[in-house]
Amino acid sequence: MTPTSTTVPAAQAPADSAAGRGRWISPKAWFLLGTIVFFAVYTEMAFDLEWRTQAGRIGPGYFPRIIGVLAMLVAAANLVLDLRSETHEVVELEDEVGEAAEHLGRHLGLMFVFVAICAVFISVLVTVGAIPATAVFLLVTLLLLDPAHKVRAVVLAVAVTAFMYLSFEVALNAGLPGGILDHF
Amino acid sequence: MDAFSNLANGIMTILTVQNLLLLFAGVMLGMIVGVIPGVGPSAGLAILLPVTFGLDPTGAIVMLAAVYYGAMYGGTITSVLINTPGESATVASTFDGYPLAKKGRAGPALVMAAVGSFVAGTVGAILISFLAPTMASFAATFGPPELFLVVVAGLLTLIVITQGNRMLGALSALMGFAIATVGIDIGGGQQRYTFGSVELINGIDFIPVAIGLFGVGEVLHTMWKGGHLEKLAFFGVSARSKGFWPTKRDYRENAAPIARGSVLGFTVGVTPGAGATVASLMSYNLEKSVSKTPEKFGKGHMPGLSGPESANNAASTGSLVPLLTLGIPGSASTAILVGGFLMWGLQPGPLLMEQNPDFAWGLIASMYLGNVMLLLVNIFCIPAFASIARIPFKVLGPIIIVFCAFGTYAVNASLLEVQIMLACGVLGFFMRRYGLSPAAMVIALVLGPLAEESLRQTMIISDGSFGIFLERGTSLGIIVLMVFLVTVPVLGGRIRSGISRAVSTIGRRRREDAPERESVDV
């Protein structure tokens, strides 16, 4: 991926509205903070594992301890760099949607709704069954992303589900979960 | 010579109806993966890997390798026609490719890019035929200390060469190592980070992680950027139209950039971590620097397209050298191939070529044939593939998610792995958003167990002394290389300016010589 960096002055950072409420902490800093917490728990668990075995060989905790401590240090260093930075660097890796992408806005809310639908789809994959769950998932997400084309969404949901069934179940014998269809 | 007889055996291995069909399927799928913006070769390989589960290893690697280098061909089509790279290695192709389409020269640009890709792919296949056995026989002398150092050096290269923040690259690699520690400890059999789950005893498989990071992560990132609202401005292209084929002058003008791109790309590709994207951007800069008419670059100058196109194809072939000879992946795509080796029951490493010659030489032989297929498919099916690029993201996004979910489930019939895939998809989105490297994470995940095992063996050999790394000549050499890699960022500016000064001098001399030669010709 080719990173292109756009530099947003801290003063113009999205939390301008937060001016006067103290220094703005970038989402990246929150992400790094979460990473440090994750690795702190990881390292704490690593210290419950042996560093060396009774035979004097490398124990199960040897690698995890090194990884955990190093990761916390590297994440903390990144966090300090981010907090100290006068500018908030937004690294955008490869602009897949072309020049117009900048004008299309950012759609974090939609993305999270999509992730939530994906989570529901995956959680019912076994109980409801791969085929019915896929058809409903496709219909809902296609309508979410393109509400103007309802007929197209229905046709695609049915056609793609049939194609998936033929590819994975008939051709590859993947053993997809039958779910409610097993009762018929 | 051994190389010739091994290559002949490799050709015989792949000349079965099944393998030829798999090669053709790989070529076509690679083209499709390449033309779909937002689905790079890594995502394509990760999604398609489970499909190869029931195949024999040779057929599987022939198909997946064809997907890998086929994606490099396909990515050019969208770069030229809609100014949107199908994947990162074809970013440089937009610089002059799209202006060429605007000038009405989309046909010649795409044909010339295909010819350049074919030449580079074939040059790469020839070079790998001779380089891989030499490197493999040298690597066969490696013991556990050298293997451990090679793994560390490979990751170090990836972090040093990675564009953007190197500290974030290191953090990404450590995340991969951390995930690799989940499961049973290979030394003593104790469980680590399994939380009592039976499914986690065997560790976290790399397939759900790779599919999540590259497949789901890409979809989420494109959606966040508004890909579902995008309206594509598209240049049409038809093989029957007048001016579809390049002229003789085009061929003459592009011969040298294709040759330079092929050699440069292969060299960069062999270096772990550098990859096709770096190769194509380096080639573009090189062509601009040595050109007699640098002012034409960026305005639709064909050498600005043919050079990078050749470089990215040669690099994708070159990156298979460390994979086949050391078992070390140099990029996210080759990391997925290493995972494939393990899935098919093969042990990646220096002995792979010796113990599985049919597999290794079948792969190398398939590149010759695959490149011929790609050239023909490219030239005669450009309009058909161009039409795939017109499918909007709002339709493709949900379908890709279903493919990812089914592909992940198909491997072990595990719902937990599908959940891990989604979690990694969200993680992949944030990693891309904040400049971390999903590629480094996947490579570290694949290499983690190898690093741990080789260090454990080293410590057993040396009775727990790290001095062993300094006592062996080869390992000492690798340590010197690692020290050099660490100092590259410090000296990088000087090295870069030195190289660009030298290249600019060559370009200036060429420009000064050109009028003199013209006057002599007259």
Q: Does residue A77 surpass a pLDDT of 70?
A: yes
B33 touches chain A (CB under 8 A): no
Q: Which residue of B has its CA nearest to A43?
A: B178
Q: CA-to-CA distance for B272 and B311, rounded, in angstroms?
A: 16
Q: CA-to-CA distance for B79 and B110, rounded, in angstroms?
A: 10
Split at pLDDT 50, 70, 90, the class of A158 is very high
Which of B223, B281, B455 comes nearest A58 by C-beta?
A: B455
Higher local confidence (pLDDT), B171 or B385: B171
SS3 B15: coil
Closest by Cα among A182, A46, A113, A104 to B182? A46
The distance of A14 to chain B (nearest Cα, Å) reads 15
Q: Are B166 and B160 in contact (CB under 8 A)?
A: yes
Q: Which amino acid is at A89?
A: E
Q: Does residue B307 surpass a pLDDT of 80?
A: yes
Hey, which bits of B182-224 come out as E strands? Answer: 183-184, 191-192
Split at pLDDT 50, 70, 90, the class of B494 is low
Higher local confidence (pLDDT), B299 or B390: B299
Q: Are B504 and B289 in contact (CB under 8 A)?
A: yes
Q: Does residue A13 surpass a pLDDT of 60?
A: no
Split at pLDDT 50, 70, 90, the class of B516 is low
Q: Which amino acid is at B36?
A: I
How many inter-chain contacts (A to B, CB under 8 Å) are there? Answer: 224
The complex's ipTM works out to 0.83
Split at pLDDT 50, 70, 90, the class of B37 is low
Q: CB-side exposure of A94: number of CA atoms within 13 Å?
A: 26
Instruction: Supply the pLDDT for residue A99.
Output: 44
Share of chain A above pLDDT 70, in %: 76
Q: CB-side exposure of B195: number of CA atoms within 13 Å?
A: 2
Per-residue CA distances from B111 to A36, B82, B246, B309, B509 (Å): 50, 16, 7, 11, 31
Q: CA-to-CA distance for B91 and B68, rounded, in angstroms?
A: 17
Angle among Cα B285, B290, B293 to the nearest 5 degrees reads 100
Instruction: Supply the pLDDT for residue B488.
Output: 66
Q: Which uninterrupted H or E stretch holds A7?
A: strand A3-9
Residue with tokens 């370009």: B507
SS3 A90: strand
Q: Are strands A3-9 and B191-192 parallel, antiparallel or unpaired?
A: unpaired
What is the mean predicted confidence (pLDDT) over A13-28? 59
**A17 phi/psi in degrees, rounded to 5:** -65, -20
Instruction: Supply the pLDDT for residue B448.
Output: 87
The distance of A78 to chain B (nearest Cα, Å) reads 7
**B191 phi/psi in degrees, rounded to 5:** -80, 140
Q: Which residue of A has its CA nearest to B436?
A: A91
Lowest-pLDDT choice from A25-39, B154-168, B274-288, B487-501: B487-501
Instruction: Supply the pLDDT for residue A170.
Output: 80
B102 touches chain A (CB under 8 A): no
Instruction: Supply the pLDDT for residue B489.
Output: 62
Instruction: Supply the pLDDT for residue B161.
Output: 63
Q: Does residue B240 surpass a pLDDT of 90?
A: no
A108-125 confidence digits (pLDDT tens): 899 999 999 999 999 999
Q: What is the mean pLDDT of chain B?
A: 84
Instruction: Supply the pLDDT for residue A23.
Output: 61
Closest by Cα among B240, B210, B191, B235 to B78? B235
Q: Does residue A96 surpass a pLDDT of 80?
A: no
Q: CA-to-CA distance for B395 and B400, rounded, in angstroms?
A: 9
Q: Are B208 and B217 in contact (CB under 8 A)?
A: no
Binding-face residues of B in 109-168 toward A, CB within 8 A: 163-165, 167-168
Binding-face residues of A in 36-95 toward B, CB within 8 A: 39, 42, 45, 49-50, 53, 56-60, 63-64, 67-68, 70-71, 74-75, 77-78, 81, 89, 91, 93-95
Instruction: Supply the pLDDT for residue A86.
Output: 64
